[in-house]
Structure formats: C-alpha cells, structure tokens
Amino acid sequence: MPAAVFLALILDRKSKKMTCILETKTAVMIGLFTGLYAALFGTFFDLFITFITKNNDLIVLFPQLQEMISEIVSDTELADQVIAIYAKVIEDIQLYGFSDMYALSVFLSNFIINLIFSLIGALIGVQIINSKMGGKISG
C-alpha cells in the first residue's frame, strides 16, 4: 500500500508537470483516495471470488473459530450468539454466494488497514519526493 501511494504521488506530479515541493495535505488526500480505492477494489474482488465459488476462508476455518470463541468468551450464552451469527454468515455464503454482514466486515477491515498504510505511504512519500526536489518552492 505505501508503494502504491508513493507511485500515485509521483504520477500526480508528472501529470500536473509540478516542479515545486509537494504539500503534505495534498499527499495525505492522495493517500486517502488511494486507500479507499484499494479497499473498494479488494472488497469487490474478494466478494466476487466468494460469489463464484460460494466458499472462502471463513467457511474453512469455522470449526477452529468455534473452539476459539468458546475458549475466549466465558459467557456461554454470548458465545452461542456469536457462533450463531457466524453460522448465519456461512449459511448465506454457501447458499447465495453473498452475505451482507460478511461484505460489510470485509470492507471495513480492508478500509481501516488500507487507510493506515496509505497514510504512512503518503507521509513517507512526501518526504522522499520533497527531499529529492531540494526544497524548491517555485511553481
């Protein structure tokens, strides 16, 4: 993700024929949009593969997930409710190839992870690009 943002920063500078230093807020905005795009694309790709195959890692790992939830959660009623939610998600995926709860959770996890790493990439990228420019402020 950081490399993708760095590439986006370079391509943005080349497309605008910029020769001045890059502002941090511009780099952060490019990083945010790159992270959002990557989250949307990754989520779409994951959901598309799940829709076609009607299978994913959650289905394969469900027995181990049940054991882990039972060990971690001390309240058996709560553990049963959590397992029932996961069972419903798995049932929807196996029947229809899609689960709205699974789609939401995949998007949110992709968005948060991509956002963090894209912001890191933007902040590092702006420093690298500006250090190569030598701090020129002409437009």
Domain chopping of the chain, boundaries: 24-133
pLDDT classification of 106: cutoffs 50, 70, 90: very high
Quick: pLDDT tens for 53-105. 999 989 999 999 999 988 888 888 888 998 999 999 999 999 999 999 999 99
Across all residues in the chain, what is the average pLDDT? Answer: 91
Which two structure tokens, joined as six digits, stand for 48?
């598309």
Q: 129: closest CA among 117, 121, 138, 119?
A: 121
CA distance 126 to 134: 12
**Residue 133, Cβ neighbours under 10 Å: how many?**
15
How far is 79 from 89, CA to CA, in rounded Å? Answer: 16
Q: How confident is the model at residue 136 (pLDDT cuts 50, 70, 90)?
A: low
pTM score: 0.80
Q: Confirm if 124 and 6 have CB atoms less than 8 A apart.
A: yes
